[in-house]
Amino acid sequence: MTDAGRPDPAPGRGEQLGEAVRLAAKYLDARVREERERGVTMAYGLVAGGGLSCAGGGSGHIYRVASMTKSFTAALVLGLRDGLVRSLEPLDLDRTLRSYLQPVIPAMARRELRAITVRDALTMATGLPTDDPWADRLESLGRQEFAVLLDRDLVTNAGAGTAYEYSNLAYALLGALAEKVTGRTFRDLVHQEILARFGLSESGLDYRALPADRLMPGFRRGLDGMRVPEPWQPPGAFSPIGGLLSTVADIARWMTVLMSALPAAEEGWARIFRDMQQAQRFYRLEQRPEAVAVESYGYGLHHRHEPVLGDILYHSGGYPGFGSHMRWHPASGTGVIVMGNTTYFDAAAPAREALGRITAAWSATNPAASPGTTPVAPKAARPLHPHPVPAEVRERMHQLETLIRSWSDAGADAIFSANMDLDMSRAERRELHARARQRTGEAADAPFEVEFLSASQARWTVTGPAGTRTVTAKTDPFGLICAVEVETRSRDE
């Protein structure tokens, strides 16, 4: 038997899988060199045979792993559910967050928040909008400031429990819940109940408590291509969404712990880890050349099922200065970790490619793997009752287009969320807009029509004699612009 409790593969099959792991490592080594030329220090690790098989790049350093933290937050909440973490009152996943949190966050009584259950928050079904850039800048927010922040009108895309919508705010609320029912800080809970319990000795939520010489500095790219350092953020109310700092070795350990629970019949933490790795909230049916795949969210993890490979578990992390991805295939006992030290580094692409090479070798020699079924068109889950677009959000999108055409600081002040100037300086943003207008040659009064993708996200295209400019924008939960992408395409492209 392997360390993870799976039967040993047949000798020939095991040799082929081992060779695939070695070839995946060569591929990742090449990616490390490519990223180094771009000024990015990439780290990777490959899990096989019940533990970390090999590692490379900056794997000896500590990176911010961002939203990979959510699996630790989910494990903590489920530990409270099952009584494995001591609490002052029982925790029921089907009770509302309001029933626990209103004494410390009075805003939980607001219409937009009061119906959200603990399970809704765990499975990304709160109806709150996707809020990445905004929430990523709020790590250090204090508990009282968090309570005040929520006491405003919120934009919601759907009713609680009716649809998948990735929300960082939901996991910040879960952190507040854990503190409320235990009387302990989230940092203490994660350190004592998860990290220490499962042997993740190189990880933590406070960069000041970790070896300074091992911390990997994070950067963003300026418009001129130069690296701009991103400051470290101490822990706070938004640590549950992405505050963990960790190493390739520790994430490999976490991955191994999670995989080891799947074939076993034990209860306790093994039951929690099995629950985390099951499909809890469907969100997409996807057709790829190799197979149809069903994508769902578990508890703090994404769950993907393919006819040939079976289950694949994963989660990405993106933060100011960092990007990461962990991905594993329980049936073969293999997994990949990739980290990089630039804002929203696309770690998922090399991780998918590396694991794909390994699982291709596994499926070629595994008699249980079967061909895919009849192709179907991609289909995403839709809210049962999507919420209408608020009038103020419609107005903000038009104000944003006005700002792109003719910049003014007063206009930006009126519509920008606090993260916008941290993610890109106003001088850079103004220059970006000017370049886009110059490339398309658009008229100052060129017509446009806003298409709303949800109550918080919109897209529109402006056409000029030389090309087109497409703007995609989304708001934070309070209707302020928190992310803007401007793409141009010339007539001859």
The per-residue pLDDT for range 243-287, each reduced to its tens digit, is 999 999 999 999 999 999 987 667 899 999 999 999 999 999 988
Q: CA-CA distance, 160 to 121, in Å (whole number)?
A: 9
Mean pLDDT for 449-463 is 95
Q: Residue 108: its pLDDT value, please?
A: 96
Give φ, ψ of 358 to 5 degrees: -70, -45
Low-confidence winner among 123-137, 191-205, 366-380 (lowest mean pLDDT): 366-380
- Which residues have a Cβ under 8 Å from the Cβ of 295 and sit 6 or more positions away? 282, 283, 284, 285, 286, 302, 303, 304
Q: How confident is the model at residue 239 (pLDDT cuts 50, 70, 90)?
A: very high
Q: Domain residues of the chain, as ranges?
A: 1-386, 391-490
Q: CA-CA distance, 477 to 266, in Å (whole number)?
A: 41
Q: Residue 281: its pLDDT value, please?
A: 97
Q: Residue 377: its pLDDT value, please?
A: 54
**For residue range 476-485, what is the model confidence (pLDDT) as tens digits?**
999 999 999 9
- The DSSP letter of residue 416 is B
Mean pLDDT for 61-86 is 99
Q: Residue 491: its pLDDT value, please?
A: 82
**For residue range 113-172, what is the model confidence (pLDDT) as tens digits?**
999 999 999 999 999 999 999 999 999 999 999 999 999 999 999 999 999 999 999 999
CA dihedral over 125, 128, 133, 134, signed as positive or negative: negative
Mean pLDDT for 1-15 is 46
Mean pLDDT for 369-396 is 70
Q: Residue 430: its pLDDT value, please?
A: 95
Q: Where does residue 27 rank: exposed (0-12), middle (13-18), buried (19+ CB within 10 A)? A: middle
Pairwise pLDDT comparison (263 vs 293), residue with the higher score: 293
Q: Residue 371: its pLDDT value, please?
A: 46
End-to-end CA distance of the chain: 56
- Per-residue burial over 235-266, b = 16 or more CB atoms within 10 Å of its CB, e = otherwise: bbbbbbbbbbbbbbbbbbbbbbbbbbbbeeee
Over 70: is that where the pLDDT of 9 sits? Answer: no
**For residue range 302-354, what is the model confidence (pLDDT) as tens digits?**
999 998 899 999 999 999 999 999 999 999 999 999 999 999 999 999 999 99
CATH architecture of 391-490: Roll (3.10)
Pairing of strands 379-380, 451-452: unpaired
Over 90: is that where the pLDDT of 10 sits? Answer: no
Over 70: is that where the pLDDT of 367 sits? Answer: no
Over 70: is that where the pLDDT of 375 sits? Answer: no
Q: Residue 4: its pLDDT value, please?
A: 39
Mean pLDDT for 440-461 is 92
Over 60: is that where the pLDDT of 373 sits? Answer: no
Q: CA-CA distance, 192 to 206, in Å (whole number)?
A: 14
- Name the 3-class secondary structure at 219: strand
- Which residues have a Cβ under 8 Å from the Cβ of 428 and sit 6 or more positions away? 222, 223
Pairwise pLDDT comparison (279 vs 383), residue with the higher score: 279
Q: Residue 384: its pLDDT value, please?
A: 61
> What mean pLDDT value characterizes the chain?
93
Pairwise pLDDT comparison (292 vs 117), residue with the higher score: 117
Domains 1-386 and 391-490 share a fold: no
373: which 2 tokens?
């079924």
- Given a contact cutoff of 8 angstroms between Cβ atoms, the answer to whether 81 and 92 are in contact is yes
Over 50: is that where the pLDDT of 220 sits? Answer: yes
Beta sheet of 457-463, edge-to-edge order = 451-452, 457-463, 467-475, 481-490
Mean pLDDT for 47-55 is 96
Q: How confident is the model at residue 357 (pLDDT cuts 50, 70, 90)?
A: very high
Q: From the centroid of its chain, how far is CA 78? A: 19
120: which 2 tokens?
């809704």
Record the pTM. Answer: 0.91
- Name the 3-class secondary structure at 72: helix
Q: Residue 74: its pLDDT value, please?
A: 99
- Given a contact cutoff of 8 angstroms between Cβ atoms, the answer to whether 321 and 218 are in contact is yes
CA dihedral over 351, 287, 297, 323, signed as positive or negative: positive
- Given a contact cutoff of 8 angstroms between Cβ atoms, the answer to whether 68 and 317 are in contact is yes
Mean pLDDT for 187-207 is 98
Which CATH code fits 1-386? 3.40.710.10
Pairwise pLDDT comparison (6 vs 378), residue with the higher score: 378
Low-confidence winner among 103-112, 164-173, 292-301, 358-367 (lowest mean pLDDT): 358-367
The helices-and-strands tally (H runs, E runs) of the chain is 16, 17
- Which residues have a Cβ under 8 Å from the Cβ of 288 and sit 6 or more positions away? none
Q: For the chain, give the percent of residues with pLDDT over 90.
A: 86
